[in-house]
């Protein structure tokens, strides 16, 4: 006789005591919640969110998209950025690119930069910009005051060495090898730069 499979357990945060709901809300937001019994630690509660973080601004889209030069690659941004920030991105991309706010971009935009958002919003944006390559983008720029972090960025900031996008198991080893080789090469370059700088400092001292 096979064991009966239990259905998924559910908790409605609206029906829980406020203090407990607040703790679970913090867990959903990425905080570590330690579970204890009689002061003895049992483990850490981890919430696997059903959606990624972030929102796309809900400002109504401009009825008449801004005209763009013929042949330009249009990059639309789905996060709130100042005109100066978009101009900086455009300058770094180089000639032939134009960076527009989501609501000013034509539906024929080539690239769409979005913060970490839910799959539902990704689908909606796909419908709005059917030909665009959608790139999930995390931004940390102190100078421009732009901060759009997601779970991967927070994990890297906490000490993770890298992020490997989803791959079949058969390709995992090659991906790990490539990542380690790249990290080793960067470490060697940094070491060589330090030795070169040290040698120059000694020459100046002599």
State the average pLDDT over residues 170-179. 86
Question: Which pLDDT belongs to residue 163?
Answer: 82
Under a CB-based contact definition with an 8 Å cutoff, are residues 74 and 98 in contact?
yes
Mean pLDDT on 176-182: 87
Render pLDDT for 2-28 as a digit per residue (tens, 0 to 9): 444 455 677 787 788 888 877 877 776
Residues 83-122 pLDDT 10s:
999 999 999 999 899 999 988 999 999 999 998 877 888 8
pLDDT the model gives residue 2: 45
When mean pLDDT is compared across 18-32, 39-53, 137-151, the lowest value belongs to 39-53
Tokens at 133, concatenated: 């390559």
Tell me if the pTM is above 0.85.
no
Query: HEC states along 23-73?
Result: HHHHHHCCCCEEEEECCEEEEEECCCCCCCCCCCCCCCCCCCCCCCCCCCE
Do you know the residue count of the chain?
A: 206
pLDDT at site 60: 46
Tell me phi and psi for residue 178, to 5 degrees. -65, -40
């Amino acid at each position: 006789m096979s064991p009966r499979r239990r259905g998924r357990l559910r908790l409605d945060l609206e029906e829980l005591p406020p203090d407990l709901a607040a703790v679970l809300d913090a867990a959903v937001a990425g905080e570590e919640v330690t579970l204890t019994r009689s002061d003895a630690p049992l483990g850490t509660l981890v919430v696997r969110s059903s959606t990624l973080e972030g929102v796309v601004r809900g400002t109504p889209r401009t009825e008449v998209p801004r005209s763009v030069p013929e042949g330009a690659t249009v990059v639309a941004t789905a996060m709130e950025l100042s005109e100066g920030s978009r101009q900086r991105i455009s300058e770094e991309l180089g000639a032939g690119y134009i960076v527009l706010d989501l609501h000013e971009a034509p539906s024929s935009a080539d690239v769409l930069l979005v913060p970490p958002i839910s799959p539902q919003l990704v689908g909606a944006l796909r419908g709005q910009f059917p030909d665009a390559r959608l790139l999930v983008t995390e931004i940390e720029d102190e100078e421009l005051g732009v901060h759009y972090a997601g779970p991967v960025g927070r994990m890297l900031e906490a000490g993770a060495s890298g992020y490997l996008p989803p791959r079949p198991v058969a390709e995992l080893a090659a991906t790990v090898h490539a990542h380690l080789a790249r990290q080793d090469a960067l470490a060697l370059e940094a070491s060589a730069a330090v030795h070169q700088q040290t040698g120059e400092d000694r020459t100046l001292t002599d």
